[in-house]
Structure 1
Amino acid sequence: MTNYLFRTPVELAPSQQKITYKDKIMMLGSCFSENIGKQLHEAFFQVDVNPFGVLYNPLSISLSLERLIENKGFSRSDIFECQCLWHSFFHSSSFSDVSPEKTLSNIQARFDESCSFLKNTDFLLLTFGTAWVFEDRKTQTVVSNCHKLPSQHFNRRRLSIEEIVEHYTLLIAQLQQLNPSLHLIFTVSPIRHWKDGAHENNLSKSILLLSIEELQKKFKNVDYFPAYEIQMDELRDYRFYASDMLHPSETAINYIWEKFSDTYFSEKTKQIKQRLEMLREKMNHRPLHPNSPEYVSFLQQIELEKNNILNEYPFLKERIKDVNSRN
């Protein structure tokens, strides 16, 4: 019988730049970056995910990074009130609050953390979601979130390849000056933006893909991870989508995460990751009978494994301690 393969695998060569447990990783972009960021966090990596909240278009991402590079914080003039909440056009609604002071406090605290983190980041992962942007008609600047303001406040347009490449050529030069050892990994979100239909979605994604290709040609420290292609080709069946038929399912996200791990982690890193994930699973266990001899023995085993890991990798101490504090 012929051995048929009923899918088209996306072949990936292992990256020359390997992510280790000593590295710092920053991620900005669409909600797909949140998915992979969560996986990295749960695997005990040092990761800072979306300090401005979810960002969908390349210009919002570049403007946010420019503010971090320049350490250009936020003031009262950067926020506005709408429907009893105070918002920022640079941030998602997760930062919004009924109090302007609290909104600014939330924004600035997160900003300060990420300013410091970026200077020492080893890998910067940027996920482009769409080439469409909304511009504030008053200021002619691209906004990251419209916060449900009426459409007449904004102009909507599609970015060109040239515009994206021009912005990122300047941005990457700034990043290299701030942090010469920084390595960039670009991805295009596999989440389809269906509001304008299938054809417009494909045009938008094509602009993003071609822009990244141009940046790869210009910079040696720029890499591309094909999350979009894995979802569209290797996982094209609708069983790999959520119920809205647009977002990847949990199974798909886990599969892409494994592909990412195979590409950017060495065998040693994968071994450490496996041990840490097993330790986390044990530490998160909730017993029916916490005073039983069996559970006391189980806790002793956890403590022994934790000490063994810390003896081998003492730099993981704070990260394991963080799990303890949440249990």
Structure 2
Amino acid sequence: MELQTRIPLTPSDNPIDYQSKLVLLGSCFVENIGAKLDYFKFQNLQNPFGILFHPVAIENLVQRAIEEKTYQQEEIFEQDGIWRCFDAHSDLRSDNPEAMLHLLNQRLKGAKVGLETSSHIVITLGTAWVYGHNTSGRMVANCHKVPQKQFTKRLLSVTEIEASLDQMVKLIQKVNPKAQIIFTISPVRHLKDGFIENQRSKAQLITALHQIINGHNVPYFPSYEIMMDELRDYRFYGKDMVHPNQLAVDYIWERFRSVWISENAFSVMEEVDAVQKGLLHRPFNPDSEAHQKFKTSLRNKITYLQERYPFMKFG
């Protein structure tokens, strides 16, 4: 008896292994997949400007990084003693304007290096709703709780999204033609926009994105569809009933792994997992001979991994 409909997935012929270098950009679902990649010690750069929800914000980061368009004083603003930038998430902030500009421009440099040297770039789109800053006329990545009257909210058209994604792909392919771009739609529902409005938003993203996928022959991983069709139950959501819970994240990660992680990496992932669990171990008697042997064995496992993969760092 089948109690679940499953989306058919085909393993990639260009999978991720421990030699791969990844860049992950976009909505908060990037953090879910990124946390898994961090745990298993894959080489990756995640959201250098913090979470970016809509395609124009991601395009802006990609373009500025590649074109080395550094941030200037007039592009940041002070609010309650803290300096921020409308192009970045609120995690990027400082109480000093020079330090804020330095932070933004350092992150831009890191993004440029990542985009130019990565083997895989995962881009996750969250919403098609955007806020235009009335004074500058620019679409912002984050409103930073600035009064609503300073912005105009609207839904990006399919044409606008398609143009933004097309520009994004072309920019990346120009500087890194070998990079494997992977698109996905975030399974997180933006219900603060409204139930119907969220569905309209996702529909716009999906329609535009599939035009790009067909036009540029880039792959799509169905995170949103897996959440909606394979995990059709609120037991897979967090307490807010909006974000996937850990069980759902683990499930979608396993589906992602089945498509995008090379089988050659599985044995190393198991070794890393054993080390990670060992580091979390809390002994009843830290001074016992058994625990000393356990610590020695754990150090040997870490050394063995780091000899083969020097980029791996363990806490």
Q: Same fold (TM over 0.5)?
A: yes
Which AA in structure 1 matches 2:112?
Answer: C
State the match for 1:87 in structure 2. 84
Return the match for 2:310 from 299, 312, 317: 317
Question: Is residue 99 of structure 1 aligned with residue 96 of structure 2?
Answer: yes
Question: Is residue 52 of structure 1 aligned with residue 45 of structure 2?
Answer: no
Query: Runs ≥4 in structure 1, deviation > 6 angstroms?
Result: none
The one-character-per-residue Cα deviations of 1:106-164 (angstroms, maximum 9, x if unpaired) are 32332222222221011111111110111111221110001111112111111111111
Q: For the Cα contact (< 8 Å) 1:186–1:224, is it kept in 2?
A: yes
Residues 307/149 of structure 1: CA separation in 2 closer, same or farther (3 Å cut): closer
State the match for 1:134 in structure 2. 131
The one-character-per-residue Cα deviations of 1:50-103 (angstroms, maximum 9, x if unpaired) are 100111111111111111111222222211011221110011111112222232
CA distance in 2, matches of 1:102, 1:141: 24
State the match for 2:161 in structure 1. 164
CA distance in 1, matches of 2:90, 2:259: 34
CA distance in 2, matches of 1:144, 1:67: 14
CA distance in 1, matches of 2:127, 2:162: 15
State the match for 1:7 in structure 2. 4
CA distance in 2, matches of 1:195, 1:287: 45
CA distance in 1, matches of 2:302, 2:96: 43
State the match for 2:293 in structure 1. 297
SS at match of 1:139: coil
CA distance in 2, matches of 1:173, 1:280: 39
SS at match of 1:93: coil
CA distance in 1, matches of 2:280, 2:98: 36
State the match for 1:210 in structure 2. 207
CA distance in 2, matches of 1:305, 1:95: 36
State the match for 1:34 in structure 2. 31
Residues 195/283 of structure 1: CA separation in 2 closer, same or farther (3 Å cut): closer
Which AA in structure 2 matches 1:282?
Answer: G
Q: For the Cα contact (< 8 Å) 2:15–2:260, is it kept in 1?
A: yes
CA distance in 2, matches of 1:63, 1:270: 36
CA distance in 2, matches of 1:69, 1:230: 33
Return the match for 2:268 from 267, 272, 282: 272
Return the match for 2:255 from 247, 254, 259: 259
Q: For the Cα contact (< 8 Å) 1:161–1:207, is it kept in 2?
A: yes
Return the match for 2:228 from 213, 232, 249: 232
Return the match for 2:22 from 16, 21, 25: 25
Residues 287/105 of structure 1: CA separation in 2 closer, same or farther (3 Å cut): farther
Q: How many residues align?
A: 315
State the match for 2:172 in structure 1. 175
Q: CA deviation at 1:213?
A: 0.6
CA distance in 2, matches of 1:286, 1:68: 43
CA distance in 2, matches of 1:135, 1:189: 22
CA distance in 2, matches of 1:187, 1:46: 20
SS at match of 1:317: coil
Instruction: State TM-score, norm by structure 2.
Output: 0.95
Cα RMSD over matched residues? 1.5
Q: For the Cα contact (< 8 Å) 1:29–1:55, is it kept in 2?
A: yes
Q: CA deviation at 1:21?
A: 0.7
Question: Is residue 154 of structure 1 aligned with residue 147 of structure 2?
Answer: no
Q: CA deviation at 1:6?
A: 2.2
Which AA in structure 2 matches 1:7?
Answer: Q
CA distance in 1, matches of 2:281, 2:69: 43
SS at match of 1:116: helix
Which AA in structure 1 matches 2:229?
Answer: D
Structure 2: which 5+ residue stretches go unaligned? Answer: none
Which AA in structure 2 matches 1:84?
Answer: G
SS at match of 1:157: strand
CA distance in 1, matches of 2:52, 2:244: 18
Which AA in structure 2 matches 1:133?
Answer: V
Question: Is residue 281 of structure 1 aligned with residue 277 of structure 2?
Answer: yes
